[in-house]
């Protein structure tokens, strides 16, 4: 007992020290998880995260890495009785796949199939596990990718390219028989978007903000939440007005604005991506900035229940909340939509209006033709003759 009491204060001191170290990342990592992360992560883990932050790793990527690393540390201790080893042996990677991707039918007759119940229960008690069935394949692949990234950044070589791991993943995904979930069940297409804007037709400060935010996010190609809240006044560049119809010199002139996005999810640190806004979206942004008296710093900011404007930028989660709030006000089901529906909706609407795919991708900044063309292929199927042989 004496030995244990001597160890416990040392462990508490180590946890407190890690919590203080994580304070340096408070602008990236959620503060309410700091104490939990300090308990789950090791000193080396915290040092690695701080190093990645100093190297300019994106905020969203850092959050995912920290979350995945905490989960991996907790899972490994519970599943093996030992801390997460670096590099992880191939057998541990295969165990991770087996614990998270399994066949529900096989589980009914074989309780040892998949993650052991005591491990799952302990992870739930820590608030790290919500799923009662097999994990989403995308989640497992993301955590393996995070594991691989952290291994490389420690100067080590893992077994993440091992044929056995690739084969196990492929077979496990097939066995789990879990349907792929869309980020947003429904796309925010033109007709739905019009209802959203109508829901923001008031004259309160929050109405001006939400209208400008939604117009900017949609018209700029369906910007990601992190890109919306990361926008600063300094990123907005006024351009010469342009014609509503470029081929008609007598068509009305519309305001034009270039938005510099800097580094995005699909670009490197040296890239400076930008998109062009024309017309209503430009007018809405300028109206919002004028009403809010914002001339520098974050464009989109929190407004409290009394109408007071915060100096800090909104969080990415706030974009999703705004969308769902306006969806509900428009008389639609918030459960059917998320912020990603703006991105999906932009490409779907572009396809519906006959905008060529390469032109739409210039605005949405999609790097994958395969991914972007999925929205176009779906529209072509609905408009084509092949599905109308029997009507």
Share of the chain above pLDDT 90, in %: 37
What are the beta bridge partners of residue 262? 273
* Helices 137-153 and 59-80, axial angle in degrees (round to 10): 100
Residue pLDDT, tens place only, 55-101: 766 667 777 888 899 999 999 999 999 999 999 999 999 999 999 98
pLDDT category, 18, cuts 50, 70, 90? low
Q: Residue 180: left if φ>0, alpha if ψ -120 to 50, beta else—which one?
A: beta
Q: What is the spatial distance between Cα 217 and Cα 227, in angstroms, rounded to a whole number? A: 9
What pLDDT was estimated at residue 116? Answer: 92
What pLDDT was estimated at residue 328? Answer: 94
HSE-CB at 37 with a 13 A cutoff on CA atoms is 26
Q: What is the mean pLDDT of residues 296-311?
A: 91
What pLDDT was estimated at residue 120? Answer: 92
Q: What is the mean pLDDT of residues 306-330?
A: 90
Q: What is the spatial distance between Cα 109 and Cα 114, in angstroms, rounded to a whole number? A: 12
**Which tokens go with 213?**
């935010």
**Which tokens go with 171?**
């077979």
Residue pLDDT, tens place only, 167-178: 888 887 776 655
What pLDDT was estimated at residue 333? Answer: 92
DSSP H stretches of helix in the chain? 2-22, 34-40, 43-54, 59-80, 90-100, 104-109, 117-125, 137-153, 163-176, 190-199, 205-219, 225-229, 280-292, 316-329, 340-352, 357-364, 369-383
Give the contacts of 5 (CB within 8 A, at least 6 positions apart).
Answer: none
| Domains along the sequence of the chain with CATH | 2-176 (no CATH), 190-383 (1.10.443.10)
CA angle, residues 298, 312, 69, in degrees to nearest 5: 100
Q: What is the spatial distance between Cα 383 and Cα 292, in angstroms, rounded to a whole number? A: 44
Higher model confidence: residue 246 or residue 370? Answer: 246
Residue with tokens 């990342």: 25
Residue pLDDT, tens place only, 181-238: 555 578 888 899 999 999 999 999 999 999 999 999 999 988 988 899 889 999 999 9
The span from the first CA to the last CA of the chain, in angstroms, equals: 80
Label the pairing between strands 309-313 and 273-278. Answer: unpaired
Q: What is the spatial distance between Cα 291 and Cα 283, in angstroms, rounded to a whole number? A: 12
> Quick check: 7 pLDDT over 60?
no
Q: What is the spatial distance between Cα 182 and Cα 32, in angstroms, rounded to a whole number? A: 28
Q: Whole-structure pTM over 0.75, yes or no?
A: no
Q: How many CB atoms sit inside 10 A of residue 97's CB?
A: 21
């Amino acid at each position: 007992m004496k030995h244990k009491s001597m160890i416990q204060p040392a462990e508490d001191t180590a946890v407190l020290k890690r919590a203080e170290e994580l304070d340096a990342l408070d602008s990236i990592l959620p503060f309410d998880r700091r104490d939990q992360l300090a308990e789950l992560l090791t000193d080396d883990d915290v040092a690695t995260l701080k190093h990645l932050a100093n190297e300019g790793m994106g905020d969203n990527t850092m959050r995912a890495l920290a979350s995945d690393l905490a989960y991996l540390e907790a899972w490994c201790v519970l599943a093996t009785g030992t801390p997460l080893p670096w590099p992880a042996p191939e057998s541990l990677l295969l165990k991770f796949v087996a614990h998270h991707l399994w066949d529900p039918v096989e589980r009914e007759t074989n309780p040892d199939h998949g993650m052991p119940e005591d491990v799952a229960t302990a992870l739930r008690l820590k608030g790290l596990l919500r799923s009662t069935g097999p994990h989403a394949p995308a989640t497992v692949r993301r955590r393996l990718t995070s594991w691989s990234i952290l291994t490389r950044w420690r100067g080590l070589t893992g077994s993440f390219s091992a044929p056995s791991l690739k084969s196990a993943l492929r077979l496990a995904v097939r066995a789990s028989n879990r349907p792929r979930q869309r980020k947003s069940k429904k796309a925010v297409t033109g007709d739905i978007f019009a209802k959203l804007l109508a829901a923001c037709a008031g004259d309160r400060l929050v109405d001006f903000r939400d209208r400008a935010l939604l117009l900017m996010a949609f018209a700029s190609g369906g910007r990601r939440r992190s890109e919306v809240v990361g926008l600063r006044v300094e990123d907005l560049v006024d351009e010469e007005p342009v014609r509503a119809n470029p081929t008609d010199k007598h068509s009305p002139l519309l305001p034009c604005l270039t938005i510099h996005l800097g580094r995005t999810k699909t670009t490197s640190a040296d890239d400076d991506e930008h998109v062009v806004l024309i017309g209503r979206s430009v007018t809405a942004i300028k109206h919002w900035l004028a009403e809010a008296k914002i001339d520098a710093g974050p464009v989109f900011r929190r407004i409290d229940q009394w109408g007071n404007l915060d100096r800090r930028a909104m969080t990415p989660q706030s974009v999703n909340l705004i969308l769902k709030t306006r969806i509900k006000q428009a008389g639609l089901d918030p459960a059917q939509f998320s912020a990603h529906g703006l991105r999906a909706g932009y490409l779907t609407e572009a396809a519906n209006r006959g905008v060529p795919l390469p032109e739409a991708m210039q605005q949405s900044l999609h790097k994958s033709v395969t991914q972007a063309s999925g929205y176009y292929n779906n529209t072509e199927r609905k408009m084509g003759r092949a599905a109308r042989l029997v009507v």
